[in-house]
Amino acid sequence: MTCGVLIYCFDTPEVKYSKIAAKCLNLIDKNLSVPTTVITDTETAAILPAGNHEVKVIEIERSNTKLAKPWYNLERHMAFEHSPYDTTVVIDVDYFCFTNKLKKLMDTNYDFLVHQQAYDVTGRNSMNYDRHSMLELVWATVLVFKKTNKSKQIFDTVKLVKQNYRHFCNLYRISYRNFRNDYAFSIALNQINGHRNFPTIPDRMATVPADVELLHFDDNSLTISSNNTAVKLCDQDLHILNKEIANV
């Protein structure tokens, strides 16, 4: 049985995700020691760092935006087909594995796992999206899945949601009308599981908000400025929303 990590990396005019990927891939090699596949486009592939990872070049959709800027996030529904592994961990390129937690999750007996809770490491409760939908959000930042019929059903349903996203936004009263993977997977998991509880990653995802100043990044930790105080975050995986991490 093969296990590995899948990441999606596409540079935009504003953000060099390839530079963020270099940090992400280094930590995967250091702390997970499993094969990694990077799904990318032709332009980004030409400047991705060399390393112990496979690169797959695809044609991507470029229609999505976030805050009126290009946001290329429309390919994750194809992860089942893109992954060459029996058990796959899909992570955002700005999710950093400072621990080996994800490797342990690869041993799960569940077909599919995702975070259902996230928290702001500064304690400001900026991760609360309950008021934006009738549906409880899941965080598609990290997905763990096996190549099973159940997982395929989930991804096929995400494809259906993506094709009919406006309809599902109306159905679940989702205020974010720009396509978002978090809501697409929330809808699919609820549909497939008969609107009952489903297995999730058994912790909250530590998140560094976009407006937090980043002071230092190394192989073991991240140092940020919070309330005018330097705070060192270590021994935990982090989702870092500030894209300046590429330059830290």
Residue 247 lies in a domain: no
Closest-CA residue to 154 (of 200, 121, 193): 193
240 within some domain: no
- Cβ(97)–Cβ(27) under 8 Å? yes
DSSP letter string, 120-157: ETTSS-TT--GGG-SSPP-EEEEEEEESSHHHHHHHHH
pLDDT of residue 129: 60
Residue 226 placed within a domain:
no
Residue 221 domain flag: no
pTM above 0.75, yes or no: yes
Tens-place pLDDT, residues 105-118: 999 999 999 999 99
CA atoms of 171 and 133, how far apart (whole Å): 10
pLDDT at 69 exceeding the cut of 80 = no
Residue 234 lies in a domain: no
If one counts the domains in the chain, the total is: 1
CATH number, domain containing residue 45: 3.90.550.10
**3/198 Cα distance (integer angstroms):** 23
When pLDDT is cut at 50, 70 and 90, the band that residue 126 belongs to is low
pLDDT tens digits for range 198-228:
999 999 999 999 999 999 999 999 999 988 8
Quick check: helix, strand or coil at residue 162? Answer: helix
**Segment 171-193, tens digit of pLDDT:** 999 888 888 999 999 999 999 98
Which residues does 118 contact at the CB level (< 8 Å), separation at least 6? 127, 139, 141, 204, 205, 206, 207, 239
Predicted pLDDT at 196: 83
**For residue 30, what pLDDT band results from cuts at 50, 70 and 90?**
very high
Does residue 52 belong to any structural domain of this protein?
yes
CB half-sphere exposure, 204, CA atoms < 13 A: 11
- Name the residue range of residue 152's domain: 3-206
In the structure encoding, which two tokens stand for residue 246, read together?
Answer: 């590429």
Is residue 222 domain-resident? no
At residue 21, the pLDDT reads: 95
Report which of 85, 28, 80 is spatially closest to residue 52, judged by C-alpha positions: 28
Residue 142 included in any domain: yes
